[in-house]
């Protein structure tokens, strides 16, 4: 950080020659190498880098949250006190009260069988000996106060995590982190996989809380624009070391280190012609023609409507009169925030959800209703799921995962050749090297390629990709997007890409369809929709992009 601590002159956190190694078999693997940092009260530091660079290891070392296999050298001073020298009782007193963590992935960090109230109250009860479970009034008041601070209604205290949206879960995690008034908060990827409007709300919330409570904040992310919108300074980590450190504006304007430049390039600026059909990748795409011929519609919907029965007998219209088409050799991006109906529309296109009215047509023919007809149709229209870790069976090898689809469809002739061709088309080369691997032996990008290979093994005409890069690192994101473009060029595949990432649409899509409350409110070429938006909701999405040039007030009803 800077040599000058916070505005009150107090050094809140200091790392001195911090190194962390993990014991693995007979060797030790370095994760953090000789890091020196200082953070003052009221200061905000962004820690950027890709998975495996050491940023989460560095952050977790502050409160000794690393596994037993980690060996830590150097010093971690919290308010001048060496964390490594703390006895267990003292360390327990420091956690939550002096420093707390907003863990990555609120869905997994929250206990699914405990109510929001119990989870926020837990650190309060642990740290305040005057507040016992049989004396709840003050605790209940504090929980409601915290919910108000993170802009959630008091009634959410009685909800279970599965009853909350992704953004609401993240706000509960932030409320837990603030429960004991800590001076330092560490937020590990707090906006990963959130849609742009919810992401903007969470970032605005954290900025406000830092200013109001004068806390120190370390925010971890692989997205430099997210960090720049919240943090005063950014430190870029690579291979366990901090390779660049600068004020946010300076680093975004003129990054110096090659890795900083790569991170900055991974998330394109909407409107930058250099990044149009050119995802950041170390494996350049073949030169594409300026005009890509798009054929007749291969997949189309007509006045499609889908409704669900909600609590109390209320009917919710998830898809409302949608007309959408994907042409031969075309990539269409379907964008919108969580709950807009994107995934329901995708499930209906795949025959996984029954439509209330309207119809889906494939090459001009309505979606079949028979089991055998649907099986044949799904061979032509394949789904690529959002989370490759969840999509793959942890006990099945890569070969089994890719061969499963052809076996279901009775395509067992030359199975090895079919799997090999699919793996190589997904750029897992040589294919023989990956066939016997299990999912836990692969990186996130490799897992996503296996999922794509599983779809390609059936030689489909259309891919429906649901948030295909939402959980991936910056450089891996570019590689997967480049792969989708190559598949369009080399195999003539069409694709409907569902995303909340407008930069992705700018990177690879021919057209974009904007969905809001079940309706398509704007459809057109990427240039027309993203550079000259006509609908208020589209302008709100663009305004929420961190570091974006578009600014607009959120549309009515979008904030909570």
Q: Looking at residue 103, what is its pLDDT? A: 86
Residue 332 domain-assigned (yes or no):
yes
User: pLDDT below 50 — which residues of the chain?
Assistant: 1-7, 131, 290, 549-560
Q: How far is CA 341 from CA 164, 200, 304, 306, in A?
A: 16, 20, 12, 9
Q: For 324, what's the count of Cα atoms within 13 Å in the CB-facing half-sphere?
A: 33
User: Do the Cβ atoms of 234 and 248 come closer than 8 Å?
Assistant: yes
Phi, psi of 313 (to 5 degrees): 80, 5
Q: What are phi and psi of 497, to 5 degrees?
A: -105, 115
| pLDDT tens, residue by residue, 481-500 | 989 999 998 888 999 999 98
- Asked, for residue 195, whether it belongs to a domain, the answer is no
Residues 345 and 475 in one domain: yes
List all residues 6 or more positions away from 278 whose beta carbon is below 8 Å from its beta carbon: 285, 507
Q: Is 448 exposed, middle or buried (0-12, 13-18, 19+ CB in 10 A)?
A: buried
DSSP 427-442: T--SHHHHTT--GGGS
In a domain, 287, yes or no: no
Residues 331 and 468 in one domain: yes
For the chain, the maximum distance between any two Cα atoms, rounded to a whole number of angstroms, is 73
Q: List the end-to-end C-alpha distance of the chain, in Å, as a whole number.
A: 35
**Spatial separation of the C-alpha atoms in residues 220 and 188, rounded to whole Å:** 5
C-alpha dihedral sign at 390, 311, 515, 547: negative
State whether 303 and 160 are in the same domain. no
DSSP codes joined into one string, 213-265: HT-EEEEEES-HHHHHTT-SEEEEEETTEEEEEEEHHHHHHS--SHHHHHHHH
Distance CA 523, CA 514 (A): 6
347 with 485, same domain?
A: yes
- The pLDDT of residue 282 is 62
Q: Are 473 and 50 in contact (CB under 8 A)?
A: yes
198 and 225 in contact (C-beta within 8 Å)? no
The domain total for the chain is: 2
Structure tokens belonging to residue 315: 């009917």
- Compute the chain's Rg from CA coordinates: 25
The per-residue pLDDT for 549 is 41
Q: Which of 181, 212, 238 marks a domain boundary?
A: 181
Q: Dihedrals φ, ψ of 453, to 5°?
A: -60, -40
CATH number where 332 lies:
3.40.50.300
18, two tokens:
């911090």
Q: Are 543 and 550 in contact (CB under 8 A)?
A: yes
Query: What is the 3 state secondary structure string of 493-544?
Result: CEEEEEECCHHHHHHHCCEEEEEECCEEEEEEEHHHHHHCCCCHHHHHHHHC
Residue closest to 242 by CA, chosen among 45, 386, 433: 45
339 lies in some domain: yes
CB–CB of 322/263 below 8 Å?
no
Give the whole-angstrom CA distance, residue 385 versus residue 390: 9
8 A C-beta contact, residue 507 and residue 163: no
Is residue 154 domain-shared with residue 301, that is, in the same domain?
no
pLDDT at 183: 92
CA-based nearest residue to 361, from 380, 343, 344? 380
**Residue 521, domain member (yes or no):** yes
User: Is residue 364 a part of any domain in this protein?
Assistant: yes
**C-alpha–C-alpha distance, residues 45 and 232, integer Å:** 6
Statement to judge: residues 476 and 345 lie in one domain: yes
How much is the pLDDT for 3? 44
Find the domain containing 144 and state its range.
Answer: 106-181
Residue 25 domain-assigned (yes or no): no
Q: What are the residues whose beta carbons fall under 8 Å from the beta carbon of 156, sequence distance 6 or more?
A: 116, 147, 164, 168, 172
- What is residue 463's three-state secondary structure? strand
Q: What is the pTM of this model?
A: 0.79
Token pair for 312: 């109390």
490 and 360 within one domain:
yes
Question: Which residues, including other chains, have CB under 8 Å from residue 258's CB and lie 6 or more apart?
Answer: none
Q: Tell me the pLDDT tens digit for each residue of 17-70.
A: 999 998 876 788 899 999 999 999 889 999 998 877 889 899 999 999 998 889
Strand-pair category, 331-335 with 511-516 = parallel
- CA dist 32 and 182 (Å) reads 25
Give pLDDT, residue 396: 95
**161 in a structural domain:** yes
């Amino acid at each position: 950080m800077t040599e000058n601590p916070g505005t009150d002159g107090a050094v809140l956190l200091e790392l001195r020659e911090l190194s962390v190694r993990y014991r693995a078999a007979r060797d030790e693997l370095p994760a953090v190498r000789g890091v020196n940092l200082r953070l003052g009260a009221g200061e905000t530091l962004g820690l950027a880098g890709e998975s495996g660079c050491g940023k989460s290891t560095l952050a977790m070392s502050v409160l000794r949250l690393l596994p037993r296999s980690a060996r830590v050298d150097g010093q971690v001073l919290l308010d001048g006190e060496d964390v490594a020298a703390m006895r267990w009782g003292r360390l327990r007193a420091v956690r939550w009260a002096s420093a707390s963590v907003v863990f990555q992935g609120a869905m997994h960090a929250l206990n699914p069988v405990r109510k929001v109230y119990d989870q926020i109250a837990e650190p309060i009860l642990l740290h305040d000996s005057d507040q016992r479970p049989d004396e709840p009034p003050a605790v209940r008041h504090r929980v409601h106060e915290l919910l108000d601070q993170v802009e959630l209604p008091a009634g959410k205290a009685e909800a279970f995590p599965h009853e909350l949206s992704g953004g609401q879960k993240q706000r509960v995690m932030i409320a837990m982190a603030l429960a004991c008034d800590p001076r330092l908060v560490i937020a590990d990827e707090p906006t990963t996989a959130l849609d742009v409007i919810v992401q903007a709300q969470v970032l605005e919330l954290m900025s406000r809380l830092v200013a109001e409570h004068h806390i120190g904040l370390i925010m971890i992310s692989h997205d430099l624009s997210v960090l720049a919108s919240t943090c005063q300074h950014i430190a870029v980590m690579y291979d366990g070391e901090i390779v660049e450190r600068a004020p946010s504006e300076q680093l975004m304007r003129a990054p110096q280190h090659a890795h900083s430049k790569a991170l900055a390039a991974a998330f394109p600026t909407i409107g930058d012609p250099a990044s149009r059909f050119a995802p950041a990748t170390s494996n350049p795409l073949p030169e594409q023609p300026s005009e890509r011929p798009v054929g007749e519609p291969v997949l189309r919907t007509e006045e499609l409507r889908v409704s669900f029965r909600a609590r109390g007998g209320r009917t919710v219209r998830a898809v409302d009169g949608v007309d959408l088409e994907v042409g031969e050799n075309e990539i269409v991006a379907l964008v919108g925030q969580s709950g807009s109906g994107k995934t329901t529309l995708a499930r209906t296109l795949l025959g996984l959800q029954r439509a209330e009215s309207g119809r889906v047509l494939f090459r001009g023919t309505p979606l079949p209703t028979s089991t055998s007809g649907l099986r044949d149709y799904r061979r032509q229209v394949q789904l690529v799921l959002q989370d490759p870790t969840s999509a793959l069976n942890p006990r099945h090898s890569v070969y089994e995962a890719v061969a499963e689809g052809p076996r279901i469809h009775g395509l067992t002739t030359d199975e090895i050749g079919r799997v090999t061709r699919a793996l190589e088309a997904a750029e897992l080369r040589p294919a023989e090297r990956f066939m016997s691997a299990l999912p836990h032996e692969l990186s996130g990008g490799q897992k996503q390629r296996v999922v794509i290979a599983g779809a390609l093994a059936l030689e489909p005409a259309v891919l429906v990709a649901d948030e295909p890069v939402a959980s991936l690192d910056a450089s891996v994101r570019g590689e997967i997007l480049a792969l989708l473009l190559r598949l369009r060029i080399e195999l003539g595949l069409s694709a409907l890409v569902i995303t909340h990432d407008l930069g992705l649409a700018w990177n690879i899509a021919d057209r974009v369809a904007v969905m809001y409350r079940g309706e398509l409110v704007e459809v057109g070429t990427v240039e027309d929709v993203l550079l000259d938006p006509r609908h208020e909701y589209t302008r709100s999405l663009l305004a929420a992009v961190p570091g974006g040039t578009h600014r607009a007030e959120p549309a009515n009803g979008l904030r909570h």
